[in-house]
Structure 1
Amino acid sequence: MHLILKASGVNAGVVSHLLAKNPNNVYDRTDKGVRVRMVYTKASEQETEVLIHAEPDPVDLVRGTPDGYDITQYINDREFVTSSLFCSYIRSALGTALNGKPKEDYVQWVDHAFELELKFGPVASDLPDRVVEELFSCMGYDITVERGESAYSFDLKNRSTVRHITLRGEQTIQQALRQLFLLIPVLDNYKHYFISEDEIDKINRYGEGWLDTHPHKGLIVRRTLHFAELIRTYERQHGALDDRPPRVEQQAEEADSDPNENIGQATSAERADDSSETPVRLNDLRYRAITDIVASLPEKSRIVDMGAGEGKLSARLAYISGVESILAVEPSGQARLRAMERFAKMQDRAGVQAMPEPMLGSLFYFDEQLQHQDVIILCEVIEHIEEYRLSSIMDTILKEYRPQVLLVTTPNKEYNEVYAMEQEQFRHHDHRFEWTREEFIVQCASWAKKGNYDYEIRGIGEDKEGFGQPTQLAMFTRGKEEHV
C-alpha cells in the first residue's frame, strides 16, 4: 500500500518543508508491527516527489480479535490495499502537513496551491469507475483509473476488481492530504476501528472548505459514518443529506440489512425522493418471496438454509406455521456466532414455530444430515462459488440430498445496467459470476433434467422492460415418480 505525492513547478522544493521531512534522510519507522517509510525520489526546486509506503504484519492485523479461532480471518486483502488502515499508519508521519503547521518560515506556503500529481493504490472498491471519477473530478482533479488484467486458468473474470488511481491538479498540500484521508476509506468502504461520534469531528475537520459543495456529500458521509444513528446525528448538526447514493451502494447495504428491522423503513435520502411509495430493500423482497413460497408448500416441516450467514432468512422462516426444524448451515464461525445471538433473541418471541439450529457445513462436503429434507434454500449463494464447481454441487443436492423442493436465488446480470453499473462489474466483490436470464434458464434446465426435477423461474423486484427483475428465483420440485 502506497501513496506517491509529486509537486512540479516553481517553489516545488517547499513541499518537503510542509511535510516536515528532510529529502536527504529516509523516514523509516516501525510502530505496532507496521513499518512506514517516506523516500524522496526527486528533490529540487522545480520538482519534488515522495513515496509513502506502509508495510503491516499480516498476523498482527488479526491477532487478538474475537474471531481468532477462524482461519478465514487470515484470507483478506488488508495487507495490500490502500484503505483506512493505510491512512492510520501514515497519519503520524504526515501530522505537520495535515495540521498545516510547518516551521514559521514556511507558514505562508500552507495555502499555496501547487501543481500536484497523487498516485495511490491498489484500492478495492464496490463503487463503479464513474462514481470514483466523480468523487475527485468535481474538486478540480484530472483522474486516471487503471485496472490490472487478470489471468485465471478457468473462466472467472478478465480484469481485476482493484484499481490504481492517479490525480492531477492544483491544490494545497494540506487540502490534498485531507481529501485523501477522508475519501480513501470511502472508496474502500472499510473501517478497522470502532466508529463513534469522533468520525463526525473528522468529517468536519478534513472536509472543511470542500465537502459542503461536493455533489456526493451524502455518499461520503454515509460511507464514513456507516451507522444510521451517527448519520442522523450528523444530519441534526448539518442538515439532511438529500442526494441518493449510487445503486451499487444500496445493493451493498442490502446485503447487510437486518430482517428483524422494520421492512421498508426509508433513509433520509429515500424520504427525499418524490415517490409516494415507501421503498423496500431488495433483500427484504427476496426474503418475503422465499417465505411466501415456503408457507404455501404442502410439505415444509424440515428446512435447510444453506449458506445461512448470520441467520437473517432462517429467523424469518421460524415464524411459518407448519415448520418444525430449520438447519442454518454456514461454514464461517464468525457468522454462526452472530446467528446464534440472533436466534437467542427469538427465544421468548410470540409466533416462533421452530428455533433455527446453527450448523457447521459447506456445499463442498456431503453431509447425511441434509438428506431427505422437505426444503433446501440457496439464497444468493451460488454466485459466490466458482462456476465450474456448481455442476457437482447441484448433483449432490438433487441426487443425494433429494429435497422435495429446492429454492435458488441469484442476481440477474442484465439488470445491472439499470443500476448504471459497468459491463464487467459484479454487485458484490465476492461474486464469481452473474448470469443473464437466458443463462440461468439453461443451467436450471440442465440441473432439473439430471436430477429428475420439475422447475419454474420467476423474478423478484421491480420489473424493467428489456432487463427483467433484479433477482432470479428458481423453484425445483421433485418429480412425481420420485416423490415419496
Structure 2
Amino acid sequence: MLITVTTTMAPATDLGFLLHKHPARLQSFDLSVGVAHVFYPEAAEDRCTAALLLEVDAIGLVRGRRGPSGDGFALGQYVNDRPYAASSMLSVAIKEVFRTALTGTCAARPELAATPIPLAIRVPSLPCRGGVDLARRLFEPLGWTLDATPSSLDPAFPSWGDSRYLDVRLTGTLRLADALNHLYVLLPVLDDGKHYWVSTDEVDKLVRAGGDWLAGHPDKALITNRYLSHRRELTAAALARLAEVDDVEPESLDNAVAPTAEAAEPERPTPLNVLRRGSVLAAVRASGARRVGDFGCGEGVLVRDLLAERAVEKVVATDVSARALQVAARKLKLDRLPDQQRARLDIFQSSLTYRDDRLAGLDAAVLMEVVEHVDPPRLAALERTVFGQAKPATVIVTTPNVEHNVRYETLTPGRFRHRDHRFEWTRAEFREWAESVAAAHGYAVRFLPVGVDDPEVGPPTQMAVFDVMAHPAIDPETAPTTTAMTAPTSAITASTAAATA
C-alpha cells in the first residue's frame, strides 16, 4: 500500500526536515505488519514528494493471528485486499515512521513545523465504506479539497458498477502534523475496520491524535464510533472526553449513527439497545416467567437486567463464545455477587445448534439478536434445540429489520449492521420463518415492533413472542422443520460478501 505527500513550498526539500527523513536516502523500517519504506520520487526546490510504501507480510499476519477461530474463511485470511488497500496497517506505519512529525516538532525548522504549507496527498487505493460522499464529508471540514475516483469492480464488466476502492487526492494548506493526524485517524475510519483488537488504549490514541480538530468536526460521532470498532462503551468515553475539549455536551451515539423517524424532535432518542431490552423485559414480565434463559447472552447486559427482576427466581445464561462469557463474568462481577444472588444465576458455554439438557425446564427463553448470527443451514438445528428439545413455555426472539437499514445514514446499501450477521430479514421473511417454527413445534406467535415503527420501512428491530399451546395439533418431536425459508438467497450471498470483506 502506498501514500505520497507533495509540497510546493520554497524550498520544497524542507519537507525532509518536517518528516525527519532525508530526501537523498531510502529508509526502511521493520513493523509488526511488514516493512515500511520511505523514499522521495522527486526532490527539487520547487516541488518535493515523499512516499511511504508498506509491504505487508500477509502470511506472517495469519501465522501470528490470535483472533477468534472461524472468523472469516480460511482462504480469505490469505487472499484479501489488506496488502494493497490503505487501512489501519498504513495508519500504524504513519505513526511508527513519522512519529516525531505527528507531534508537530522540528528542531531544525521549528517555525516551519508551526506553519501551514501547501500539501497534496494521494492515496491510490483507499477502501471507503460510504463512497466518495463520505470521504468528502470527513476530509473537507478539515480544510481539504478532495478529488476521488472510484475503481470499477471489473473493467471488463462495466455493468457491475464501482467497487468501494477510491483513488483519493487531497489538496490544502495545512500544518504537516495536522495532515498526518487526519490520515492516521481517518484511514481506518473510512475502511471501517482495524487489523488489531481495539481496547481502552485506543480512546487515548484517538483523543491524542484528534484533540485539536475532532471535537469540532460535524461527524465526530461517526468518526469516533468507527475508529473504536463500534464498541459502544469506548465510543461513549471518547465522545465525553472530546466534549471536554470542545466544551459542549457529548452527543448521543444512537442519534448520530441510527437516526429514527422522530430525529427532528429536539430531545435525544432513547438508544435502540435500551428500547430492545425494555421490550424483552416487558414480554418476560407479561409471561409470568420465573425461570428465564438468555440464550446467546453475549457480555451479559440482559442478564444483569433479569437479575434485577424480583419475580425472576432463576436465570440461565449461555453463549457459544468463551471470551464473551469471560467478559460477562467480569461485567457482572460474579466473584463479588452475594451468595443469594449468585445462586440465582447459571452461566455456561453452550451452542444452540446442539442438544443441551441444561436448557430444559425454563418458563421463558430469550434469543435477543441471535438468529442472524447463525449460518442459514444451521437454523433448523437451532429450531430443534430451542423449540423442540428445550421447549420453554415462552420464547422471545428479536432480530434486525433489514428494511429499516435505509434510515441509517452511515450504513452503505447492501451492508449488514454487524460484520458477523449471516443475514438480515425483512418483516415478511421474519414472519414467514416464525410462523413456520410455531406451527412445527406447537406454539402460537405474535409480532411486536421495537423502536419507532416507521410507516414506510417498519421498526429498526422486530420481535416475535412464541407461547406454547396447551394442546398442540402437531407432535413437535416428529414434526418436520422447514428450512427453505430460513434465509433468502440474496441474504446468504450478501453474508458471504460481508464475511470476506
1:53 alignment partner in structure 2: 54
1:460 & 1:160 partners in 2: Cα distance? Answer: 35
Superposed, which structure 2 residues align to 1:170-319 within 5 Å? 170-172=172-174, 173-184=176-187, 186-187=189-190, 188=192, 191-192=198-199, 194-195=201-202, 200-204=207-211, 207=212, 211=214, 214-217=217-220, 219-220=222-223, 226=234, 228=236, 231-241=239-249, 247=255, 249=257, 275-276=266-267, 279-298=269-288, 300-319=289-308
- Structure 1 stretch 78-87 or stretch 38-47: which is displaced more? 78-87
2:349 alignment partner in structure 1: 360
2:119 alignment partner in structure 1: 114
Q: Is the 8 A contact 1:100 1:110 kept in 2?
A: no
Note the C-alpha offset of 1:217: 4.2
Asked whether 1:448 is paired with 2:438, we answer yes
Q: Is the 8 A contact 1:54 1:86 kept in 2?
A: no
Asked whether 1:91 is paired with 2:90, we answer no
1:82 to 1:307, Cα distance in 2 relative to 1, 3 A: farther
3-state SS of the aligned residue for 1:365? coil
Note the C-alpha offset of 1:436: 1.5
Given candidates 418, 429, 451, the residue that maps to 1:428 is 418
2:114 & 2:207 partners in 1: Cα distance? Answer: 28
Note the C-alpha offset of 1:471: 0.8
Letter paired with 1:179 = H
1:162 to 1:320, Cα distance in 2 relative to 1, 3 A: farther
Q: Is the 8 A contact 2:120 2:169 kept in 1?
A: no
2:486 alignment partner in structure 1: none
1:419 to 1:197, Cα distance in 2 relative to 1, 3 A: closer
2:317 alignment partner in structure 1: 328
What's the RMSD between the two structures over aligned residues?
Answer: 4.4
1:481 alignment partner in structure 2: 471
1:162 to 1:117, Cα distance in 2 relative to 1, 3 A: closer
Asked whether 1:21 is paired with 2:13, we answer no
Which deviations, in whole Å up to 9, do the C-alpha atoms of 1:227-282 show, x marking residues without a partner? 6456445434431057665757359xxxxxxxxxxxxxxxxxx9x99635x64221
Letter paired with 2:185 = L
Superposed, which structure 2 residues align to 1:67-86 within 5 Å? 71=69, 86=90
- Structure 1 stretch 111-120 or stretch 310-319: which is displaced more? 111-120
Letter paired with 1:52 = L
3-state SS of the aligned residue for 1:113? strand
Note the C-alpha offset of 1:93: 1.5
1:400 alignment partner in structure 2: 389
3-state SS of the aligned residue for 1:58? helix
3-state SS of the aligned residue for 1:183? helix
Q: Is the 8 A contact 2:290 2:363 kept in 1?
A: yes
3-state SS of the aligned residue for 1:53? strand
TM-score (norm 2): 0.72
Work out the percentage of aligned pairs sharing the same amino acid.
25
3-state SS of the aligned residue for 2:428? helix
2:450 alignment partner in structure 1: 460
Letter paired with 2:29 = R
TM-score (norm 1): 0.74
3-state SS of the aligned residue for 1:118? strand
3-state SS of the aligned residue for 1:92? helix
Note the C-alpha offset of 1:462: 1.4
Which deviations, in whole Å up to 9, do the C-alpha atoms of 1:164-212 show, x marking residues without a partner? 56233234544321211233354447645625667544434xx3xx556
3-state SS of the aligned residue for 2:424? coil
1:135 alignment partner in structure 2: 138
Q: Is the 8 A contact 2:118 2:171 kept in 1?
A: no
- Structure 1 stretch 22-31 or stretch 53-62: which is displaced more? 53-62
1:390 to 1:41, Cα distance in 2 relative to 1, 3 A: farther
Letter paired with 1:370 = L
Q: Give aligned pairs, total.
A: 442
2:329 alignment partner in structure 1: 340
1:55 to 1:287, Cα distance in 2 relative to 1, 3 A: same
Note the C-alpha offset of 1:317: 1.8
Letter paired with 1:37 = A
Note the C-alpha offset of 1:469: 1.3
2:469 & 2:163 partners in 1: Cα distance? Answer: 42
Which 5+ residue runs of structure 2 have no aligned equivalent? 155-159, 229-233, 476-501
1:469 alignment partner in structure 2: 459
1:478 & 1:82 partners in 2: Cα distance? Answer: 53
Note the C-alpha offset of 1:224: 6.6
1:199 to 1:437, Cα distance in 2 relative to 1, 3 A: closer
Which 5+ residue runs of structure 1 have no aligned equivalent? 151-157, 252-269
Note the C-alpha offset of 1:459: 0.6
Q: Is the 8 A contact 1:26 1:37 kept in 2?
A: no
1:163 & 1:369 partners in 2: Cα distance? Answer: 48
2:114 & 2:374 partners in 1: Cα distance? Answer: 54
2:437 & 2:235 partners in 1: Cα distance? Answer: 42
1:286 to 1:100, Cα distance in 2 relative to 1, 3 A: same
